[in-house]
Structure 1
Amino acid sequence: MSSSKVIHAFYNDDEVVLDAVKKVKAAHHHIEEVFCPFPVHGLDKAMGLAPTRIAIASFMFGVTGLAVAIWMTNYMMIQDWPQDIGGKPSFSWFKNMPAFVPIMFEMTVFFAAHLMVITFYMRSRIWPFKKAENPDPRTTDDHFLMEIPVHNNEEELMTLLKETGAVEINVVDSDSH
């Protein structure tokens, strides 16, 4: 069984790696992954990644929280145990709604925030006690790593990556990391 090889090109500046990604993509090479110590603005567009739908999920979680808050305040304060607090009538949720606005706001934020964290971890496949998939520890400190699969074009890729400003280029077995 033959193992596939990948090239790890290291960069030490975010602008350089962003330009390098654009040049590698312009040369029609596939970039498997770019590992960065911090988010690089525009890198997702340069790599051609699809836009995220996480904002839609957040909105839906917030709407769910708002619905739960409306149901909860109606059940607790109107149906289950109606009380006359400060002269406010407890016969209708709509008459008491201004008093429930803080509860509705907080439940909307609570649901959106907590469910977004869970969604992010599930979408990113980050589980408790999961082994890190980072191929080089320097990418958590001060280096950027571009991982490109090799398909009988090793010399061409090496030349291109040197032109883009890579400070270090290594060919490694993709099964080893």
Structure 2
Amino acid sequence: MEAKLFRALYNDDDILMKAVKKLREEKVHIEEVYTPFPVHGLDKAMGLAETRISIAAFMYGCVGLITAVVMMNYIMIQDWPQDIGGKPSFSYLQNMPAFVPIMFELTVFFAAHLMVITFYLRSRMWPFKEAENPDKRTTDDHFLVEVHAGSDEEKLKELLLDTGAVEVQVPKTA
């Protein structure tokens, strides 16, 4: 038997933060929190793990840097060497100061674009995906906390109302 899903609506982000902390103290598992804007510190209050997007960004930047070095070495030194402004193209190292802006730009380009793609894939947000928002008011001025009910549903409903919820919903499960 699947546990019921409770949805508590809050109308203030400070009340939401206190409610999340109280629910965590009471060992209630918070499934998801929907907010109309980012709430600073909510991830820590929910006990979410640190993200590894910064490690991915560094790796993507390294891929961009390597791509820039290989591309410039092949194009400007091996394939089509040119004498530009009296600077001969005998080796990559002699010309590297001229290549620094290109290396920087490709590093940033790869890191930024691949991080966005990674974010969308990890969030399962792709084009034409239906919104999974349980209540339209969370896009305007309300905050919603989804929790799974344990054995005592009445106690949980009472706890949610005590934390400052303006409304507690028990949606029908399919």
- TM-score using structure 1 length: 0.94
Question: Sequence identity, in percent?
Answer: 67
AA aligned to 2:171 is: V
Partner in structure 2 of residue 30 of structure 1: 29
Cα shift at 1:152 = 2.5
Partner in structure 2 of residue 85 of structure 1: 84
Partner in structure 2 of residue 124 of structure 1: 123
Segments of 4+ moved more than 6 angstroms: none
AA aligned to 1:170 is: Q
Partner in structure 1 of residue 157 of structure 2: 158
Structure 2: give runs of 5+ residues left out of the alignment. Answer: none
Partner in structure 1 of residue 55 of structure 2: 56
Cα shift at 1:3 = 5.2
C-alpha distance in 2, partners of 1:82/1:119?
37
Partner in structure 1 of residue 142 of structure 2: 143
* Contact 1:9 1:146 survives alignment (8 Å): yes
AA aligned to 2:13 is: D
Partner secondary structure for residue 27 of structure 2:
coil
AA aligned to 1:21 is: V
Alignment length (residue pairs): 174
The structure-2 alpha-carbon separation of the partners of 1:109 and 1:174, relative to structure 1 and needing over 3 Å to count, comes to: farther
- TM-score using structure 2 length: 0.96
AA aligned to 1:85 is: I
Partner secondary structure for residue 32 of structure 1:
strand
With 155-164 and 61-70 compared, the bigger mean Cα shift is at 155-164
Structure 1: give runs of 5+ residues left out of the alignment. Answer: none
Q: CA RMSD in A?
A: 1.1
Partner in structure 2 of residue 7 of structure 1: 6
AA aligned to 2:20 is: V
* Contact 1:34 1:145 survives alignment (8 Å): yes
AA aligned to 2:110 is: F
Cα shift at 1:20 = 0.4
